[in-house]
Structure formats: structure tokens, C-alpha cells
């Protein structure tokens, strides 16, 4: 299935990208990106570095101006009145020495009471419930700077899940996380996709993970080069063209 054929009515709630282009002064970062990401599905964006994956995510997040259309549609093709996007960044550069617990961070995002005055019992419960969504409940009283990479990503996932998003965006969420942490993170995401019926867009470079978890793979290299299942994309000429030094991960399965 070629990318430009993907634009058609599908009868599912989804986020629909049609002819999305992002320019920065003279440079065209991405042009004419077309993609449907369905609710309840994990769509993985792959592509070479500098190919525009993160730019595309930032367009969807509304952080960069773009041309074209990004629509959030329900089953009847009606646009959502309000769309909530949860976002887990690739890495969270922050001051590791900051006196700040996981509880403080979540309470500052979820409640109005200023965190320096303390966290109420009710807010504690809300924070705990939120952390439980991402299997991070044991981390509530830890200091943020003392978390491992995988633990931090689960805390950020929990934060992205509250309030419940319509679209979850994960930008290489497990790069640099140990194997066990990766599996835990992705199993959590996988379960959420089914339970909460949200659309998930994830950037990943890990072909093994892509094959295991992706419902749909989109190869982004300045534009949508190829959209399909992992096997279809890995076997395509476009993939070989974008990753000339990768010897067909699709063929070794």
C-alpha cells in the first residue's frame, strides 16, 4: 500500500494527516505527509535521522506551524470538539539535583494547590491512581532525579495519560532504556491501546520492537515514503533506499 493511497474513509476514529508540510525559513523539513493513525492502534514512525519524524510530531502537537491538514475525526468523520494529546518526550533533560519527588511533579501537573504547600490526601490518591496507569505506583515518593531511565519514562507516560488523551505521542520513548525497562514500558503501552482505545503515534529505531508491537508502520523520510505493516515496510524498496546500510530486517523474520 503506497502512502498516497492511504487517504480514504475508514470509518474509525482517527487522526488524519493530509498534505502536511513544515518549513523552517528556506528549508523544507517535511512535505506532503499523509497518514491515518487509528484509535486502538499503535502507529510507529520510522525513518533516518533528520528525516523529519520529530518535526512531524511537533506539528501534530501544534508546536510548529505547518501547511496541510491535521484532523482528529470520530467514527462519523466529525471533528472532535476538543482533542487531548498526551506526549512522552524522547529524553527529558532536567536538573537531576532538583529537590522534587515524583509526587511533586504529578501534583503540579494535575492539581491546583501549589505544591510547595504540600500535597493533600486526595491529591496523593489521584497521583497514585495516575501512576498506576503506567505501572509506576511504586515510584511516588522517589526523587525525580534518582529514577532510572525506564522508571522516568513510565512516570512521564503516567503524566501523559492523565487526563486521558485521545492521542498519545511517544518520541523514541525507550531509547537508552535497558531491555527490561523497554519491555515493561511497551507492554504497558500495548495494554493501554486495547483498554483505552486511544490512537498512539510512536517514533522508534528498534526494528525488533517495531515488528513486535506496531499495528502500522510509516516510513518518514522528508515525506511519507511507505505506510503498511512492519513486514510490508521492511520489505519495500523505499525502506532499502532510506536505510541503505540496514540489511532488510523484514526478511530475517
By CB under 8 A, tell whether 109 contacts another protein.
yes
Measured from the CB of residue 143, what is the shortest distance to another protein in angstroms?
5
Choose one: 74-82, 93-101, 194-202, 238-246; the region binding another protein (CB under 8 A).
93-101
By CB under 8 A, tell whether 82 contacts another protein.
no
- Between residues 112 and 251, which has the closer beta carbon with respect to another protein? 112
Measured from the CB of residue 119, what is the shortest distance to another protein in angstroms?
7
Taking CB under 8 A as the criterion, which residues in 137-166 touch another protein? 142-146, 156, 159-160
Q: How many residues bind another protein (CB under 8 A)?
A: 37
By CB under 8 A, tell whether 83 contacts another protein.
no
Contact 182, 176 (CB under 8 A): no
- Between residues 1 and 92, which has the closer beta carbon with respect to another protein? 92
Measured from the CB of residue 142, what is the shortest distance to another protein in angstroms?
7
C-alpha dihedral over 16, 19, 22, 28, to 10 degrees? 150
Helices (H), 197-246: 207-213, 230-234, 237-242
By CB under 8 A, tell whether 93 contacts another protein.
yes
By CB under 8 A, tell whether 89 contacts another protein.
yes
Choose one: 32-40, 109-117, 127-135, 216-224; the region binding another protein (CB under 8 A).
109-117
Q: How far apart are CA 44 and CA 125, in angstroms?
A: 33
* Phi, psi at 228, each rounded to 5°: 175, -160
Contact 70, 150 (CB under 8 A): no
- Between residues 105 and 209, which has the closer beta carbon with respect to another protein? 105
Query: C-alpha grid cell for residue 227?
Result: 505506510
- Between residues 59 and 227, which has the closer beta carbon with respect to another protein? 59
Nearest to 43 by CA among 86, 14, 80, 74: 14
DSSP code per residue over 115-162: GGG---HHHHHHHHHHHHHTT-GGGTTSBGGG--HHHHHHHHHHHHTS
By CB under 8 A, tell whether 94 contacts another protein.
yes
Q: How far apart are CA 138 and CA 222, in angstroms?
A: 41
Estimate to the nearest angstrom the gap between the alpha carbon of 93 and the chain centroid.
18
With CB under 8 A as the contact rule, the residue among 21, 31, 32, 111 that binds another protein is 111
Contact 43, 69 (CB under 8 A): no
With CB under 8 A as the contact rule, the residue among 5, 25, 27, 95 that binds another protein is 95
Residues of this chain that bind another protein (CB under 8 A) = 61, 63, 85-87, 89, 92-95, 97-101, 103-105, 107-109, 111-112, 114-119, 142-146, 156, 159-160
Amino acid at each position: 500500500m503506497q502512502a498516497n493511497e492511504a487517504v480514504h474513509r475508514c470509518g474509525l476514529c482517527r487522526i488524519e494527516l493530509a498534505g502536511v508540510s513544515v518549513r523552517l525559513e528556506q528549508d523544507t523539513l517535511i512535505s506532503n505527509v499523509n497518514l491515518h493513525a487509528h484509535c486502538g492502534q499503535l502507529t510507529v514512525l520510522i525513518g533516518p535521522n533528520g528525516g523529519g519524524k520529530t518535526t512531524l510530531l511537533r506539528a501534530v502537537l501544534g508546536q510548529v506551524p505547518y501547511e496541510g491538514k491535521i484532523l482528529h475525526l470520530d467514527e462519523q468523520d466529525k471533528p472532535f470538539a476538543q482533542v487531548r494529546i498526551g506526549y512522552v518526550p524522547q529524553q527529558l533533560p532536567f536538573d537531576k539535583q532538583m529537590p522534587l519527588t515524583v509526587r511533586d511533579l504529578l501534583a503540579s501537573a494535575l492539581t491546583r494547590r501549589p505544591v510547595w504547600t504540600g500535597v493533600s490526601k486526595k491529591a496523593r490518591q489521584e497521583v497514585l491512581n495516575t501512576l498506576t496507569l503506567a505501572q509506576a505506583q511504586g515510584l511516588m515518593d522517589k526523587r525525580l532525579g534518582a529514577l532510572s531511565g525506564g522508571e522516568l519514562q513510565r512516570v512521564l507516560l503516567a503524566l501523559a495519560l492523565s487526563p486521558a488523551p485521545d492521542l498519545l505521542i511517544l518520541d523514541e520513548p525507550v531509547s537508552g532504556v535497558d531491555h527490561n525497562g523497554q519491555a515493561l514500558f511497551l507492554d504497558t503501552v500495548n495494554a493501554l491501546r486495547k483498554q483505552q482505545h486511544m490512537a498512539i503515534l510512536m517514533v522508534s529505531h528498534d526494528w525488533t520492537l517495531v515488528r513486535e508491537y506496531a499495528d502500522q508502520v510509516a516510513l518518514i523520510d522528508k515525506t511519507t515514503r511507505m505506510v503498511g505493516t512492519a513486514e510490508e515496510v521492511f520489505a519495500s524498496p523505499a525502506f532499502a533506499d532510506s536505510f541503505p546500510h540496514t540489511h532488510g530486517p523484514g526478511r530475517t523474520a
